[in-house]
Chains A and B, each alone.
Chain A
Amino acid sequence: DAEITQSPRHKITETGRQVTLACHQTWNHNNMFWYRQDLGHGLRLIHYSYGVHDTNKGEVSDGYSVSRSNTEDLPLTLESAASSQTSVYFCASSEARAADTQYFGPGTRLTVL
């Protein structure tokens, strides 16, 4: 069965360190998204990609970057982790280019100390 996975599921890091969160999907979807979820804010879009070598900034992209070298993976990098980036991160993929039927990964809980 097709799926979308994220790793690690939990991560504790220190301020200033670079951190990369992995996202891998086997749906063969062109469209992939990264969100962060914080209490009271719902899901906020960080970056998204509509195909290989395509990346776009979302609502809260400062301090984050992504790269898309193949269809299956969209890693999210925090260049220099900050305590404000402590959050739960969800990766999603979809066949359509918007909120219609997005499939979410299990999430990564990141704590920046």
Chain B
Amino acid sequence: GQSLEQPSEVTAVEGAIVQINCTYQTSGFYGLSWYQQHDGGAPTFLSYNALDGLEETGRFSSFLSRSDSYGYLLLQELQMKDSASYFCAAGGSYIPTFGRGTSLIVHP
């Protein structure tokens, strides 16, 4: 089977940096994605890592280590609007599997 583990909740203050970790077990793994979902909304794509290393997109960065079956999403200069749920998702054997999501709460 396939599974992804991520923390259920993370809290931080505005302007800070926060890291959301994701560990995975998938067969035929070939990439890790991250999605953001605000309450009542649809998930939206943030980033994708197919290779080891860091991918940077503005204030968001994502990291992958295939040897450790581990990745993380790094959010810098946190803003109130970043309060949302964040999902890691793995592509394995052409079947996408999502983690249960991390609720990020940003305090002023």
Contact = CB atoms under 8 A, between A and B. Distances in A.
B83 interface: no
Given A99-B31, A99-B90, A100-B31, A43 B95 contact: no
B79 to A, nearest CB: 22
Interface string B23-41: 0000000111101000001
Contacts of A102: 33, 35, 43, 45, 89, 96
A99 B98 contact: yes
Interface residues of A, number: 26
A17 to B, nearest CB: 26
A92 B33 CA distance: 14
Contact of A43 (B30, B43, B50, B94): B43
Contacts of A48: 95-96
Nearest to A106: B42
Nearest to B8: A40
A101 B48 contact: yes
- Give the interface size bracket for B toward A: 20 to 34
A100 B33 contact: yes
Nearest to B93: A98
Given A42-B99, A98-B30, A99-B97, A104 B42 contact: yes
Contacts of B33: 99-102
Nearest to B100: A42
B91 interface: yes
Interface of B: 30-33, 35, 41-45, 48, 50, 87, 89-92, 94-101
Given A41-B100, A102-B89, 14 more contacts: A42-B87, A42-B99, A42-B100, A58-B95, A98-B90, A98-B91, A98-B94, A98-B96, A99-B89, A100-B31, A101-B33, A103-B45, A104-B44, A107-B42
7 contacts: A98-B30, A99-B33, A99-B98, A101-B33, A104-B43, A105-B42, A107-B42
Interface of A: 33, 35, 40-45, 48, 50, 58-59, 90, 92, 96-107
